[in-house]
Structures are given as C-alpha cells and as structure tokens.
Structure 1
C-alpha cells in the first residue's frame, strides 16, 4: 500500500513538474520573441539614424579611371614614377616599357 501511494505521489509530482516546465518554456518563448522584436526595432532605428547622418555629408563620388583600348597609351612617365592615364581592359596589361596596353 505504501509503495503504490509513493508511486502515485511520484507520478503526480512528475506531471506537475512537466506542466510547470511547459508553461515556463512558453513564457520564455514569448519573451524571446519580444526581445528579438525589440532588437530588430533598435537596429532599424540605428540604421535610420546613420542614414540621416550620411545624408548631411556631401557625397564624394569616386570618379573612375577611363578604360583604354588594347594598343593605346595607358601610362605616362613622370621622372622615376609612372602616371596612369587610363586602365587597361580585361585581358590586357599596361606594359611599363612600352607604356601601352598589351594582351596578356
């Protein structure tokens, strides 16, 4: 008799523990979703703030170096250095002796 009562009590305690654990996991899930949403909102606010700050600064457009055709002059010698006139197209390189785009 005592054994069956202990077994029943143990089963009831186990079921109660499982029920409580199920509720806490649902609460944790809800709170984790709220945290995720608040983090997303914070991130969006930061992005908007950065965009507004960047709009205030003048845009520095990087002007690309024009591309030159194969065989055309791509560099100019300036004393010990070379000044780049244009960028050779894909598949060609600027020869430092001829200062022209040649096929590689």
Structure 2
C-alpha cells in the first residue's frame, strides 16, 4: 500500500516539475512533437486509459482498507440493536448517537 502511495506522489511531483519547466524553456529550443509520438509502443490515449484504470483500483483498495479498521464503529439510531451477547461478554455492533446509551439488558440504544 505504501508503494502505491509513493508512486502516486512521485507521479504528481514529476508532473508538476515538468509543467513548471515547460514554461521556462524558450520557444526556439523546444522540440516539435512527432505525429506518431508513442512510448513503449503505446499511444498517449492508451497510456491515459491505463493510468485511469490503475488509479481507480487504488481508490477502491483504499476505501476497503478504511472500512476494515476496527477503530471505526458505525452509528446506531435509537431502538436499533447496538450490542450482541457472547456468553458472559458483550460485543459492540455499533455506537449509539449522542444523548442515547446502549442498554446492556435489552442490547439496544435508548
């Protein structure tokens, strides 16, 4: 996960640096792009589509990792079940809204 984040940050930094350097070059020293400009046999459109797919996958995996954290507990409305009894222990399902408390006898928010 850290490698994906580092790659995205590096890409953004390189893009910003490239755009800043483009403004510093004089027009007579700039190279004219070739009509069939391709990198590794891929056109610009194909590279853009591949990058879009990669970033979409990174966003999905990031959202899933946030949902799986144990410290994030969803909120319960009044009257909803907020806990579950496991023998002598009580496990929390969700956190009651402000002003309500999880009743340990009924296991609901009141």
TM-score of Structure 1 vs Structure 2, range by shorter chain: 0.3 to 0.5
Name the structure where helix makes up a greater proportion of residues: 1
Structure-2-length-normalised TM-score: 0.37
Structure-1-length-normalised TM-score: 0.39
